[in-house]
């Protein structure tokens, strides 16, 4: 360890009140807009009892003998955007993949601890990770549309999970494309190959593809890092819009981006969660020395 880097001396400060095992405060079957209204009355800056959708309890992940994520305890609030920030290799992307068990595909990776998704431990032996990913979707750093038509890309998950017949699938495809603001751009060429779209359009298509199957949580792994500023702005705008219907966890290297579009921010450093708080607090008055150093660009 280099002495130039700040030391991690204190336990992570988590301000969100989250009594374990509490039933969700909002009725899941109630109309979504109604839930959001009731939540938005409270300012996000203050520590509030936002019902968590995912509760991470003492999660560690080891690659062989190397710990990539160490003893992270964190609650991800429902219908909020949670940003994960930190220097490269700090374990934030690995942590993100733990949330829908995409880390299952990494050889030699072992996890310990618990991740509760709506009070279900997703690492329990009986859990089928394939069913889990139907509820917790993911968008990757590099846009990865399938080399198929635009329509087939969005319809992929719908057909996979047999969510409706041909006619209703068309409506759902249109709805998903409208949500990401892509419908007007592509409605005349739905049969064209998705790889003909521009980079930003491809990434929005990937988001449309992920939300078409109506997941509860959307994990985003640096979704805008390969895009130009205009496309990035569109993605950020989209994130703010999507949090009405989905809980979003976003990994980003771009601190301004975290500041602009997240409600909560978690700072990771060397596999540990240093600080988790409302975004205003993290950027305004970080409690940990390391967080402050990172925010102000002194390392990372």
Partner 1 sequence: MPTILQDPIDSASGATPPVVDVSRQLELELRTTLYEKGGSWRETLVEKGIFVVSLTAIFAILLIFIFVARECLPLILGQVDTARSAELIAPEKAVDLSSEQLAVYLSQPVEKIRPLSPDVLKDLVASRNEELAAHPNPDSKLNTVSWPMLLLPYRWQEYTKAEFIWQPTSLVEKYNLVPLFFGSVKIAVLSLLMAVPLSLMAAIYVSQLASGPVREVVKPVIELLAGVPSVVLGFLALIALASLFQWLFGYEVRLNTFVASVALALALIPVIFTIAEDALSAVPQTHKDAARAMGATEWHATIRVMVPAAFPGIFAAVILGFGRAIGETMVVLMASGNASILSPSIFQSCRTATAAIAAELADAPVDSPHYRVLFLIGFILFVITFVGNVFADVILQRLRARLEGQRGSHDAEPHASSEPNPQEALS
Q: Which residues contact partner 1 by CB under 8 A?
A: 100, 102, 105, 107, 130-134, 137-138, 140, 142, 144-148, 156-157, 160-161, 184, 187-196, 206, 209-210, 213
Indicate the residue among 100 and 262 with the shorter CB distance to partner 1.
Answer: 100
Closest contact distance (angstroms) between CB of 271 and partner 1 is 22
Contacts with 109 (C-beta within 8 Å, 6 or more apart), sequence order: 61, 62, 63, 68, 103
CA-closest candidate to residue 92, choices 298, 285, 262, 284:
262
Indicate the residue among 102 and 278 with the shorter CB distance to partner 1.
Answer: 102
**CB of 211 closer than 8 Å to CB of 218:** yes
Bridge partner list, 163: none
The tokens for 33 are 């807009």
CA-closest candidate to residue 251, choices 51, 98, 39:
98
Q: Which residue has the tokens 């990401």?
A: 180
Closest contact distance (angstroms) between CB of 129 and partner 1 is 9
Indicate the residue among 10 and 142 with the shorter CB distance to partner 1.
Answer: 142
Indicate the residue among 122 and 138 with the shorter CB distance to partner 1.
Answer: 138
Indicate the residue among 123 and 146 with the shorter CB distance to partner 1.
Answer: 146
Closest contact distance (angstroms) between CB of 277 and partner 1 is 28
């Amino acid at each position: 360890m280099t002495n130039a880097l700040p030391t991690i001396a204190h336990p992570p400060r988590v301000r969100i009140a989250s009594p374990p095992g509490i039933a969700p405060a909002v009725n899941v079957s109630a109309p979504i807009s109604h839930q959001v209204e009731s939540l938005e009355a409270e300012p996000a800056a203050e520590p509030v009892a936002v019902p968590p959708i995912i509760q991470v309890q003492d999660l560690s992940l080891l690659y062989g003998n190397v710990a990539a994520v160490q003893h992270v305890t964190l609650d991800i609030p429902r219908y909020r955007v949670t940003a994960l920030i930190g220097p490269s290799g700090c374990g934030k992307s690995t942590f993100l993949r733990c949330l829908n068990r995409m880390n299952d595909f990494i050889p030699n990776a072992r996890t310990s601890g618990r991740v509760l998704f709506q009070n279900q431990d997703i690492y329990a032996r009986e859990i089928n990770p394939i069913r889990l990913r139907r509820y917790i979707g993911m968008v990757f750093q590099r846009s990865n549309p399938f080399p198929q038509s635009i329509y087939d890309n969005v319809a992929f998950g719908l057909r996979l999970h047999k969510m409706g017949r041909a006619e209703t699938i068309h409506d759902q495809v249109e709805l998903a494309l409208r949500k990401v603001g892509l419908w007007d751009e592509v409605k005349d060429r739905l049969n064209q190959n998705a790889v003909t779209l521009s980079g930003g359009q491809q990434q929005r298509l990937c988001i449309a593809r992920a939300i078409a199957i109506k997941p509860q949580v959307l994990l985003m792994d640096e979704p805008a890092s390969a895009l130009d500023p205009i496309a990035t702005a569109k993605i950020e705008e989209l994130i703010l819009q999507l949090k009405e219907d989905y809980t979003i966890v976003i990994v980003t290297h771009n601190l301004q981006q975290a500041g602009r579009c997240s409600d909560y921010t978690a700072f990771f450093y060397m596999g540990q969660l240093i600080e988790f708080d409302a975004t205003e607090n993290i950027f305004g008055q970080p409690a940990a020395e390391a967080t402050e150093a990172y925010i102000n660009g002194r390392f990372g």
